[in-house]
Structure 1
Amino acid sequence: MSKLFGDYIRAKREALRKDSPEFSIRKVAKRIGIHHSYLSKIERGEPASLSEKKMVALADELGTDPELLLAMNGKISEEVRRAVFEDPEWVVSILNQIKNGRDGS
């Protein structure tokens, strides 16, 4: 996991923790099924990996889209993988829009 990803996860969790102690690193880690030291490692940007299932659980905890967290780590969900095979031309057009920016430049 990258430093940018770790910073993103920590910022999301800390923002939630301001309103609820249920978002301590220990409690979040326990709910997604990992050790708190492992989540700390992820938040620091150290080499670590989460399965798709754990990544989805983390996204749910943080109130963010699982596809976003997966993409931030260079992964795609099985659901997106199926979409690629079902309509590859459409996916290429979407990817080109992303690469070129929303304004088409």
Structure 2
Amino acid sequence: MSKLFGDYIRAKREALRKDNPEYSIRKVAQRIGIHHSYLSKIERGEPASLSGKRVVALAGELGENPGLLMIMSGKVPESLRRAVFRDPEWVIEVLSRIEDDADR
């Protein structure tokens, strides 16, 4: 996982934890089925990987869109893969706009 992904996850989890102690790193990790030290590695951006199933579970825990977290984690959801095959030109156009915006 990347540092950007880890920072994003940590920020989301910590924001939820301010109002609810159920969002401690230990409790979130336990609910998605991983060890808390592994989630800590991910949040620090150290080399670690989550399966698609675990990314979706983490999204559910954090109230995030699963597809968004899949993309942020470097995985491509099956629904997006299908969209690419349905209309590759449209995807290229959208990606170009995203890249142009990122360059600003």
TM-score for the superposition, normalised by structure 2: 0.89
Q: Answer with 60-69 or 26-35: which moved more.
A: 60-69
Partners of 2:97 and 2:60 lie apart in 1 by 27
- Structure that is richer in helix per residue: 2
Partners of 1:93 and 1:60 lie apart in 2 by 30
Aligned equivalent of 2:86? 86
Aligned CA RMSD, in angstroms, stands at 1.6
Partners of 2:73 and 2:52 lie apart in 1 by 11
Partners of 1:44 and 1:100 lie apart in 2 by 29
Partners of 1:54 and 1:13 lie apart in 2 by 15
Aligned equivalent of 1:13? 13
Deviation at 1:73, TM superposition (A): 2.6
Partners of 1:10 and 1:71 lie apart in 2 by 17
Please list, as runs of the form range in 1=range in 2, the aligned pairs for 1:1-105 lying within 5 A after superposition.
1-101=1-101
Unaligned runs of 5+ in 1: none
Letter in 2 for 1:18: K
| Identical pairs, percent | 73
Unaligned runs of 5+ in 2: none
Deviation at 1:67, TM superposition (A): 2.1
Partners of 2:77 and 2:34 lie apart in 1 by 20
TM-score for the superposition, normalised by structure 1: 0.89
Q: Answer with 30-39 or 67-76: which moved more.
A: 67-76
- How many residue pairs get aligned? The number is 103
Partners of 1:94 and 1:65 lie apart in 2 by 19
Secondary structure of 1:101's partner? helix
Letter in 2 for 1:91: V
